[in-house]
Structure 1
Amino acid sequence: MLTPDGFKVKAGEARFGVHYTMKGVTLNTLDIKISGKDTANNLAVFEQIGHTPNGGPPLHIHPNQDEWFYVLEGEYLFQVGEERYTMEPGDTIFLPRNVPHAFVQLSENARVVVSYAPAGKMESFFKVTDQWNSPPSKEEIAKVFEDHDMKVVGPPLKVG
């Protein structure tokens, strides 16, 4: 499906009114701003509110998607391939498909815009992680990543 007309998503709101909270990988909230349903699955854009100081996803790859982040608030450390970058408000980072990457939130509060092209299964991924009721095992995390066209290739980044 392709949305034929433009639309507005207000600050603090999500495209379809659902705020996803990841449980297990991080405790971040993700709001869909532009859905894959709006773009014939060519693009998905989320606002991620970071609630996980010193936390982040495991090192992973997206075989079929490019990803980029724009930092609105707070600080992060990103790894892309072998390179590490400290990110502050106003910084942008591009994570090409098939390149291992991860991040860790360095500040108490943080907020980024994150985009996936094509959209892939990211909306479904965040919906699944929102439904976890207890911390998942490493094996469960790896399976959910695999089910959503990602592959865990290492542990989360550590601060220090």
Structure 2
Amino acid sequence: MSLASMAHRRYDTGWYRNACVWKKGTAMSLGIYPKPDLSRTGEVVTRPHEDGVIVRRADERALPALGMPGGENHDTVRLLLDGNDTRGAAAVVEYTISPQGDGPGLHWHRTYDEYFYVVSGKLSMQAAGRSAVFQPRDFVFVPRGVIHDFWNDSAAIPCIFVSGWTPAGSEGVWKIDDLPSDVRSDPVRMLAALDSLIDIVPVEGTRIPIAD
């Protein structure tokens, strides 16, 4: 039996394997997860079509990154995909963290999983009680419920990385202009709307030093 047929057969039985290796291979976790429910991510397509292709050019306008004070420059976000583009399945953004950008602080999410892919510079991260520095082309997946944080330790070089989450929803914090005018004009209702969108549960504590 080929590896492909084995993988297909295992997937059809309702489970699949997912392994996560921390930086330098210092730890590995292996788990069995339920087969994804395709009905939650939209209709099952039965024949090819040409609708829905989305392109974001590199020079498209970036938005301020909420909750990330940054260093000398302003941190920015480019919204690449939102829930309207993916039937609610996922959202993707591109972050630019300025030198010494401090990140959002320790937090976790109740309703979505998150991933990080470093494009340029170096991204410092803490997740599940471990800290590491990630280089371009490194990838990190953080399941919902895992406490984490990210920042840029470099004194001179910005860090650009792509982050996404499943399902979509929290990207709405960068689309506040789409909220009704009566909500935007009321600070209490505005804060409540943002809180319901961003799903960030802050955690008190200090960052774990990164080992040399």
**Which bin holds the TM-score, normalised by the shorter protein?**
0.7 to 0.9
Q: Residue 126 of structure 1 aligns with which residue? A: 174
Equivalent of 2:128, from 64, 77, 81? 81
- 1:38 aligned counterpart, secondary structure: helix
How many pairs were matched up? 141
What TM-score, normalized by structure 2, do the two folds share? 0.58
Q: CA offset at residue 54 of structure 1? A: 4.3
Higher relative contact order (CA 8 A, sep 6+): 1
Q: CA RMSD in A?
A: 2.7
What TM-score, normalized by structure 1, do the two folds share? 0.75
Q: Residue 138 of structure 1 aligns with which residue? A: none
Cα distance between partner residues in 1 of 2:195 and 2:205: 13
Change (3 A) 1:29 1:84: same
- 1:58 aligned counterpart, secondary structure: coil
Question: Is the counterpart of residue 6 in structure 1 residue 53 in structure 2?
Answer: yes
Equivalent of 1:110, from 153, 159, 163? 159
Q: Residue 34 of structure 2 aligns with which residue? A: none
Change (3 A) 1:124 1:87: same
Cα distance between partner residues in 1 of 2:57 and 2:152: 25
Q: CA offset at residue 28 of structure 1? A: 1.6
Q: CA offset at residue 88 of structure 1? A: 0.9
Q: Residue 134 of structure 1 aligns with which residue? A: none
Q: Residue 69 of structure 1 aligns with which residue? A: 116
Question: Is the counterpart of residue 96 in structure 1 residue 146 in structure 2?
Answer: no
**More deviation, 107-116/150-159:** 150-159
- 1:32 aligned counterpart, secondary structure: strand
1:122-149 C-alpha deviation (Å, 9 max, x unpaired): 2222346xxxxxxxxxxxx9x9556522
Q: Is the 8 A contact 1:106 1:159 kept in 2?
A: no
Cα distance between partner residues in 1 of 2:66 and 2:110: 24
- 2:202 aligned counterpart, secondary structure: strand
Q: Residue 148 of structure 1 aligns with which residue? A: 198
Q: CA offset at residue 31 of structure 1? A: 0.7
Structure with the higher strand share, 1 or 2: 1
Change (3 A) 1:145 1:53: farther
Letter in 2 for 1:76: L
Query: Percent identity among equivalent residues?
Result: 28
Change (3 A) 1:98 1:158: closer
Q: CA offset at residue 67 of structure 1? A: 0.5
Question: Is the counterpart of residue 21 in structure 1 residue 71 in structure 2?
Answer: no
